[in-house]
Copies of this chain bind each other. A is one copy, B any other.
Amino acid sequence: MTIREMLEAHPQPASRDRDVVVRCIEACIECAAACTSCADADLGESDPQELVRCIRLCLDCADLCDSTGRIVTRQTASDAGVIRAAVEGCVVACSACRKECERHAEHHEHCRICAQVCSRCEQACNDLLESIG
């Protein structure tokens, strides 16, 4: 909501489809938060050793979603190549994290939610990549 208002108030209106941009930013921000929380919930489980790969991929995914969200948010003097590279990296991280979280979704509700959020972010990033062309 705030992101949309901020982009509407920007002196240089987005040249690409604004809805796609807003959804991608919101998805990256949500995914960074979910992955930070999932890594932490994994760590708090009675069997963190079973979840080592999940923690690792959640930490990586949080970091890439965080930087990608910042990069896609910026509208001034954008470089399409840099945006594409960041968003492509984000898709790979979200996909790997989603697959690992899905493996634990039956036993851990936080992994089930995190997998869904990663999936939404993958989709939103792919939609942005398609709109950039």
| Chain A interface (Cβ < 8 Å from any Cβ of B) | 2-3, 5-7, 9-12, 25, 29-30, 33-34, 36-38, 40-41, 43-46, 48-49, 52-53, 55-57, 59-64, 66-67, 69-71, 73-79, 81-82, 84-86, 88-89, 91-93, 96, 108-110, 113-114, 117
Measured between alpha carbons, how far is A89 from B29 in the docked complex, in Å?
19
Query: A30 contacts B56, CB within 8 Å?
Result: no
Measured between alpha carbons, how far is A96 from B82 in the docked complex, in Å?
7
Q: Is the interface of A mostly helix, strand, loop or mixed?
A: helix
25 CB < 8 A contacts A-B: A2-B30, A6-B33, A6-B38, A6-B110, A9-B113, A10-B37, A10-B110, A11-B44, A25-B33, A33-B73, A43-B76, A44-B77, A52-B77, A55-B77, A59-B59, A62-B70, A63-B66, A64-B71, A64-B82, A64-B89, A66-B67, A67-B67, A85-B89, A85-B92, A88-B89
Query: B64 contacts A67, CB within 8 Å?
Result: yes
Known A10-B110, A34-B6; judge A60-B86 contact (CB<8 A).
yes
Q: Which residue of B lies closest to A108 (CB)?
A: B9
Chain B residues with Cβ under 8 A from A30's Cβ?
Answer: 2
